[in-house]
Amino acid sequence: MFQTIFRSKFTYWILFLYVIALGWWIYLQTDKSSVYYFYGYYSSVALSGGLYAFWLSFKKWGGTKSVIGKGLIGLGVGLLGEALGLLVWTYYNLIAEVAVPYPSLADLGYFALIPAYTFAAIMFAWAAGVNFSLRTARGKLQVLIIPLIALTLAYGLFLNDTEIDFSSPLTVFLNIGYPLGDIIPVSIALLTLTLSIKLLGGTMRSRIMFLVLAFFFQFLTDYVFLYLIASEKFVDGGISDLMYVTSYAIMSLGIIAFRDYK
């Protein structure tokens, strides 16, 4: 799998963008004067990965004609949604010079990642042959247990002490949907790995494992962000922003891994 990744010229483009983002982030720890430009810049990692996912889907996998093609489209939509959210956030702060409203168009982009990644996870589960494992009692039991554990974990981490104000239903939906939604692709990918481990060949198994890592890192990144917000420790250009650009780079590399797989 890693040979496939590093044979692609696009890998080095993603790494180039990431190294610049990393260097810029280090600079921001001593001087925050360019922090809003930084947000606009690191959207380029998500934008590049998202566009490449669409190109790879239609160029190599037939787009919507194949399961993996559909999965790549889902990953591409998720990354493009993140890029849209970052660009809208940058517009409010850098051009309009006003506080970003919540909810806003940025949240449309950010939240799009959840259904898009969930759809992608389902497609890759299908490609991995999960449907065969679901015919067994053990497989059916895992389908119940793994998502239940994942949702319980997400609730305990994010929502246990959350106060719900139904005067703003969209805000309530996002406050609940963000933390619970992020865990869904992780649980599906993990379920795919456990149900199809005996069915997958080495090349497919390594790619699914990489996607599990990418989905989990996205979940961990959102957890850190929400924790910092809740504890009033969030700062622009802080550790959560480094984690976000890292998550986009990891997912982009996961997409590239399907470049030569047949």
Give the pLDDT mean for 69-77. 96
What was the pLDDT predicted at 142? 56
pLDDT band at 134 (very low <50, low <70, confident <90, very high): very low
What was the pLDDT predicted at 12? 97
Residues 6+ apart with CB under 8 A from 32: 236, 237
Could you tell me if 171 and 103 are in contact, meaning their C-beta atoms sit under 8 angstroms apart? yes
Q: Per-residue pLDDT tens for 181-237?
A: 778 887 777 777 666 555 555 567 788 788 888 988 988 888 888 778 777 888 889
Q: What is the pLDDT of residue 131?
A: 55
Task: Identify the band that residue 150 occupies on the pLDDT scale cut at 50, 70 and 90.
Answer: low
Alpha-carbon distances, residue 142 vs 15, 71, 135, 211, 234 (angstroms):
37, 22, 12, 19, 37
Residue 93 has pLDDT above 70, yes or no: yes
Average pLDDT rounded to a whole number, residues 245-254: 96
Q: Output 41 or 177, whichever has higher pLDDT.
A: 41
State yes or no: pLDDT of 156 exceeds 70.
Answer: no
Is the per-residue pLDDT at 24 higher than 90? yes
Mean pLDDT of the 20-27 span: 96
Q: Decide if pLDDT at 143 tops 80.
A: no
More confident residue, 56 or 94: 56
C-alpha to C-alpha distances, 140 to 85, 154, 196, 250, nearest whole angstrom: 37, 22, 13, 31
- Of the listed ranges 23-27, 94-98, 201-205, 239-243, the least confidently predicted one is 201-205
- List domains and CATH numbers for the chain: 2-256 (1.20.1070)
Q: Which of 44-53, 149-158, 207-216, 253-262 has the lowest mean pLDDT?
A: 149-158
- pLDDT, residue 100, reads 79
Place of tokens 């559909």: 70
| pTM (predicted TM-score) | 0.86
Rounded-to-integer distance, Cα 15 and Cα 13, Å: 5
The pLDDT of residue 132: 46
Q: How far apart are CA 129 and CA 197, in angstroms?
A: 10
Question: Does the structure show a pLDDT above 50 at 170?
Answer: yes
Q: Give yes or no for a contact between 146 and 184, defined as CB atoms under 8 angstroms apart.
A: no
Range 116-135 average pLDDT: 74
Please give the average per-residue pLDDT across 91-109, as a whole number.
Answer: 84
Which of 58-67, 80-89, 104-113, 222-231 shows the lowest per-residue confidence on average (mean pLDDT)? Answer: 222-231
